[in-house]
């Protein structure tokens, strides 16, 4: 490809709409343009990257035995009413009407449609198992789209749905897809981790998320360096303390703590560590009464875990100040279990605490020397906090650490949640009707591009992994329009590399060298060849890898072999 026959539009300054690195770089490099909130045009350069990601996914899904199809983006309301999700899905579902005022939606996911396909086609156990997938544009009317294509409303997703005669076969396919995803993200050249996940709203049991590791990731992942344990912090179990509760040594005492509202202020005021304090959080209970949750001062409430408690109303809502005032005679910042007669649920870590500090249920007062059993009744103990680095791994094999990740894939065992609702029956060997077991497997294709950048960039711009770069190699001629030998060499090299199936970009724009270098680096091309009069006299051209500190000269005669060898080891042919 010659730059003059392609479309490159880079910016020196990032548009002010962008905050995170990948978003800024994607806009600066001209990969995407925003049309409206959460909706982007993929410019030619960006589309090349997106297509490479799609190709790898498609090749590996095919290798894994899945079969590609393409379902409609627009779906009739009837199907969604049948699965009861027309009401359940909420405002994230973009609902539209046709000219006859019939209800439709723009598909945020395709369980309903695929189920409709399968129930019409599949009648017998002989036709199972099946795994259908598609790569398609979805629309989810996110409350707050952000970070460019990282959390767009319109995005490209690979979604797959598998159907089985029994749970055992579903588990086999689940494992197969787990392995397929592992191959996909490995081939994409990304550092990633598969983590046990909460099943969220889609439901079902058995689920893993695939996260691209990046410090800027939105998700926290707890993992054990000593074993293969990894789980989303939402899910990772905080184990029971192994140490017994010490006996009380201090008397219960009420102390004035004027103006102290937070744990940090409390620690500073009383000169204690946060681990010796207990924080009190009040949420609405299932029966409407407030429920007091207790956590060690240095721990954080996990809303998902709290939501699973029978005593707590779903979704978890913090009680209003009025409710709290009525129940505790005090305001948030001074709350505690002493003298409170309602339901108290304490995190397991609190089990092992003695002589701690907690709110006194009187504004601007705290109690010190508080002890469970002596000063207030034994509460219900449960796991309601986020794990922290240093916690014991739930598999008992070491100590947890925490890193951040971007969720790019998610696999689920749906079991019969949809197949039962949508009546996905088949006849088994004995001629009896059974309900299919179902799995689903998603990959955020557009998100992968942003995640790859989030993981691979420097101050000059993007550094694309070889597997998904828009162009493998950039040829930058110095004096293309002036020096016939430079032009001829550049053209020939371009043609020869292209003939080898290498994606080569010849920057034949009439730009100054600095501008060309800057652009080629910004758009993340991993290899660069510079052809100049100076080097050609010696029969040499210059090579520089995108991450290399220094360029080096190589004989012209060896260029092709060098480039080929560097690119072919990452070749995307399956």
Partner RNA sequence: CGGGGAGUGGCGCAGUCCGGUAGCGCAGGGCGUUUGGGACGCCAAGGUCGCAGGUUCGAAUCCUGUCUCCCCGACCA
CA distance 472 to 495: 14
What number of other Cβ atoms are within 10 A of residue 393's Cβ? Answer: 23
**In the complex with RNA, which residue's Cβ is closer, 246 or 481?**
481
CA distance 455 to 164: 37
Q: Which of residues 208-267 bind RNA (CB under 7 A)?
A: 209, 218-219
Piece in contact with RNA (CB under 7 A), picked from 362-370, 376-384, 499-507, 530-538: 530-538
What number of other Cβ atoms are within 10 A of residue 505's Cβ? Answer: 27
Piece in contact with RNA (CB under 7 A), picked from 126-134, 246-254, 528-536, 565-573: 528-536
Piece in contact with RNA (CB under 7 A), picked from 67-75, 94-102, 511-519, 563-571: 511-519
**Smallest separation (angstroms) from RNA to the CB of 158:** 9
Q: Which of residues 389-428 bind RNA (CB under 7 A)?
A: 407-410
**In the complex with RNA, which residue's Cβ is closer, 340 or 457?**
457
Which ranges constitute the DSSP H helices of 206-353? 263-270, 303-307, 321-328
Q: What is the largest CA-CA distance in the chain?
A: 93
Q: 3-class SS at 377?
A: coil
Using an 8 Å Cβ cutoff, are 256 and 362 in contact?
no
Q: How far is CA 551 from CA 100, 143, 321, 396, 514, in A?
A: 65, 47, 64, 49, 15
**Smallest separation (angstroms) from RNA to the CB of 79:** 18
Piece in contact with RNA (CB under 7 A), picked from 33-41, 49-57, 276-284, 347-355: 33-41
Does 544 sit near RNA (CB under 7 A)? Answer: yes
**In the complex with RNA, which residue's Cβ is closer, 165 or 506?**
506
**In the complex with RNA, which residue's Cβ is closer, 392 or 486?**
486
CA distance 306 to 315: 9
Piece in contact with RNA (CB under 7 A), picked from 168-176, 222-230, 242-250, 444-452: 444-452
**In the complex with RNA, which residue's Cβ is closer, 327 or 525?**
525
**In the complex with RNA, which residue's Cβ is closer, 256 or 315?**
315
**In the complex with RNA, which residue's Cβ is closer, 436 or 556?**
556
525: Cβ contacts below 8 Å, ≥ 6 apart: 464, 469, 470, 471, 472, 473, 474, 505, 546
**In the complex with RNA, which residue's Cβ is closer, 255 or 536?**
536
Binding flags for RNA, 331-370, as an x/- string (CB under 7 A): ----------------------------------------
CA distance 468 to 53: 6
Residues 453, 456, 458, 463, CA torsion sign: negative
Q: Which of residues 144-183 bind RNA (CB under 7 A)?
A: 144-147, 149, 151-153, 155, 157
Piece in contact with RNA (CB under 7 A), picked from 30-38, 99-107, 111-119, 397-405: 30-38
**In the complex with RNA, which residue's Cβ is closer, 336 or 532?**
532
What number of other Cβ atoms are within 10 A of residue 439's Cβ? Answer: 26
Which listed residue (522, 554, 556, 563) binds RNA by CB under 7 A?
522
Q: What values do phi and psi take at 106, rounded to 5?
A: -90, 125
Which of 393, 387, 404 has its CA nearest to residue 229?
393
Does 539 sit near RNA (CB under 7 A)? Answer: no
**Smallest separation (angstroms) from RNA to the CB of 512:** 4
**Smallest separation (angstroms) from RNA to the CB of 372:** 29
Piece in contact with RNA (CB under 7 A), picked from 168-176, 358-366, 492-500, 513-521: 513-521
Q: What values do phi and psi take at 78, rounded to 5?
A: -50, -45
Residue whose structure tokens are 């009040």: 282
Which listed residue (4, 7, 37, 399) binds RNA by CB under 7 A?
37
Q: Which of residues 466-485 bind RNA (CB under 7 A)?
A: 478-479, 481-482
**Smallest separation (angstroms) from RNA to the CB of 552:** 10
**Smallest separation (angstroms) from RNA to the CB of 181:** 10
Binding flags for RNA, 126-145, as an x/- string (CB under 7 A): --------------x-xxxx
**In the complex with RNA, which residue's Cβ is closer, 149 or 324?**
149
Using an 8 Å Cβ cutoff, are 89 and 155 in contact?
no
Q: How far is CA 319 from CA 263, 283, 291, 296, 334, in A?
A: 19, 5, 9, 20, 15
CA distance 428 to 500: 52
Residue whose structure tokens are 């998320």: 209
Q: What is the 3-state secondary structure (H, E, C) of 357-371?
A: EEECCCCCEEEEEEC
Query: Binding residues for RNA, how many (CB under 7 A)?
Result: 73
Piece in contact with RNA (CB under 7 A), picked from 12-20, 185-193, 256-264, 429-437: 12-20
Q: What is the 3-state secondary structure (H, E, C) of 316-344?
A: CCECCHHHHHHHHCCCCCCCCCCCCCCCE
Does 383 sit near RNA (CB under 7 A)? Answer: no
Q: Which of residues 64-123 bind RNA (CB under 7 A)?
A: 92, 109
CA distance 439 to 161: 6
**Token duo for residue 52:** 């490479």
Does 439 sit near RNA (CB under 7 A)? Answer: no
CA distance 148 to 174: 31
Q: Which of residues 178-207 bind RNA (CB under 7 A)?
A: 200-202
**Smallest separation (angstroms) from RNA to the CB of 262:** 16
Residues 407, 411, 415, 417, CA torsion sign: positive
């Amino acid at each position: 490809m010659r730059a003059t026959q392609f479309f490159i539009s880079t910016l020196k300054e990032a548009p002010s709409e962008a905050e995170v690195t990948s978003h800024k770089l994607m806009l600066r490099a001209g990969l995407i343009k925003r049309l409206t909130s959460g909706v982007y045009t993929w410019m030619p350069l960006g589309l090349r990257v997106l297509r490479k990601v799609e190709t790898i996914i498609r090749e590996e899904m095919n290798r894994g035995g899945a079969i590609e199809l393409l379902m409609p983006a627009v779906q009739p309301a009837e199907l969604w009413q049948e699965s009861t999700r027309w009401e359940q899905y909420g405002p994230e579902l973009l609902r539209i009407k046709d000219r006859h005022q019939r209800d439709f939606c723009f598909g945020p996911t395709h369980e309903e449609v695929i189920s409709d396909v399968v129930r019409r086609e599949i009648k017998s156990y002989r036709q199972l198992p099946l795994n259908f997938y598609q790569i398609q544009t979805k629309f989810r009317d996110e409350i707050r789209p952000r970070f460019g294509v990282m959390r767009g409303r319109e995005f490209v997703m690979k979604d797959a749905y598998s159907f089985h005669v029994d749970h055992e076969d579903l588990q086999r396919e689940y494992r197969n897809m787990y392995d397929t995803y592992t191959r996909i993200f490995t081939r994409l050249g990304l550092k990633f981790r598969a983590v046990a996940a909460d099943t969220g709203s889609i439901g079902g049991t058995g689920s893993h998320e695939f996260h691209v590791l990046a410090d800027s990731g939105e998700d926290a992942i707890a993992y054990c360096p000593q074993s293969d344990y990894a789980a989303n912090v939402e899910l990772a179990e905080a184990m029971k303390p192994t140490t017994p509760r010490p006996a009380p040594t201090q008397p219960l005492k009420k102390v004035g703590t004027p103006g102290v509202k937070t744990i940090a202020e409390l620690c500073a005021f009383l000169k204690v560590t946060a681990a010796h304090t207990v924080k009190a959080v009040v949420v609405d209970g299932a029966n409407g009464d407030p429920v007091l949750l207790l956590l060690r001062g240095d721990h954080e409430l996990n809303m998902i875990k709290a939501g699973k408690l029978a005593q707590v109303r779903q979704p978890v809502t913090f009680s209003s100040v009025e409710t709290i005032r009525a129940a505790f005679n005090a305001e948030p910042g001074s709350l505690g279990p002493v003298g409170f007669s309602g339901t108290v649920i304490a995190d397991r870590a609190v089990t092992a605490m003695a002589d701690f500090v907690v709110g006194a249920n009187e504004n601007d007062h705290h109690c010190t020397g508080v002890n469970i059993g002596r000063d207030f009744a034994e509460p219900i103990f449960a796991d309601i906090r986020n794990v922290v680095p240093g916690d014991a791994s739930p598999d008992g094999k070491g100590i947890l650490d925490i890193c951040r990740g971007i969720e790019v894939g998610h696999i689920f065992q749906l079991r019969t949640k949809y197949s039962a609702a949508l009546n996905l029956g088949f006849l088994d060997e004995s001629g009896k009707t059974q309900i299919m077991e179902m799995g689903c497997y998603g990959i955020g294709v557009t998100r992968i591009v942003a995640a790859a950048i989030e993981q691979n960039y420097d101050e000059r711009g993007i550094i694309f992994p070889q597997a998904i770069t828009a162009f493998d190699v950039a040829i930058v001629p110095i004096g293309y329009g002036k020096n016939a030998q430079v032009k001829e060499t550049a053209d020939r090299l371009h043609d020869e590399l292209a003939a080898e199936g290498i994606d080569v970009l010849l920057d034949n724009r009439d730009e100054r060298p600095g501008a060309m270098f800057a652009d080629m680096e910004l758009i993340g091309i991993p290899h660069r060849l510079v052809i100049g009069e100076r080097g050609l006299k010696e029969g040499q051209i210059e090579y520089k890898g995108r991450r290399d500190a220094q360029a080096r000269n190589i004989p012209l005669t060896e260029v092709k072999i060098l480039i080929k060898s560097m690119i072919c080891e990452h070749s995307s042919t399956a």
